[in-house]
Amino acid sequence: MIQMDEKTVSSEMIYDGRVLHVFKDNILLPNGEPSIREYVKHVGAVCILPLTDEGEVILERQYRYPFHEVLIEIPAGKLDGPDEDPRAAALRELREETGAVPRELHYLGDFLGSPAIMGERIRMFFARGLVFENQKLDEDEFLEVFRMPFDDLIAEILAGNIPDGKTQAAALRVAALLAKEKQQ
């Protein structure tokens, strides 16, 4: 097996923000040559694909500043801290953003959106058996919650109309899971 590990020589935080922490590390490449890595540390996040008993996905339209546009996404949010249980965070975010409380919550795996520069790990979940209560948005959250048939979501993703990576990954994993369930 090829040696690929890079060794950290020194690490310097060059920005310490509320959500992002940017680092510049001096490293040694596998061949022993020096190099530099700049990357962002992030506490982590969760996303949830909530599916109603009628086969509709609960989605959100939300303005995303880096792109200056409104995107369609599944509910998601960052962990409150590095030790927060991702399952508890998923239940919290789903309840706050959509009012939905699931009877079933299944872990789908992790999504690493930009692993070359970003240390954000998004844990993906699939929620079913939804019961609806009141939405409890944070003061700085502005989003529109709506429903779309699951098959339409898959079609929109495959047509290139939903660019959000975590939404794509979770939806396609759920599609595979549901197809497997139908075969059993």
Please say if the pLDDT value at position 111 is more than 80. Answer: yes
CA distance 81 to 78: 8
122 beta partners:
45, 111
pLDDT at site 25: 97
Q: Mean per-residue pLDDT for 6-22?
A: 95
The CA distances from residue 135 to 17, 89, 93, in Å, are 28, 15, 10
Q: Rounded distance, CA 180 to CA 11, Å? A: 46
Q: How confident is the model at residue 7 (pLDDT cuts 50, 70, 90)?
A: very high
Q: What are phi and psi of 10, to 5 degrees?
A: -155, 155
The helix (run of H) or strand (run of E) holding residue 178 is: helix 165-183
pLDDT of residue 86: 98
Q: Give the residue, 20 or 54, on which the prediction is more confident.
A: 54
How far apart CA 79 and CA 175 sit, in angstroms, is: 26
Whether 138 has a pLDDT exceeding 90, the answer reads no
Tokens 């502005």, located at residue? 142
Going from the C-alpha of 168 to that of each of 22, 23, 184, the distances in angstroms are 27, 29, 25
The residues that are catalytic are 139
In this prediction, residues 27-49 reach a mean pLDDT of 96
pLDDT score of 100 more than 90: yes
**CA atoms in the 13 A half-sphere facing the CB of 13:** 7
Q: What local confidence, expressed as pLDDT, does residue 139 receive?
A: 79
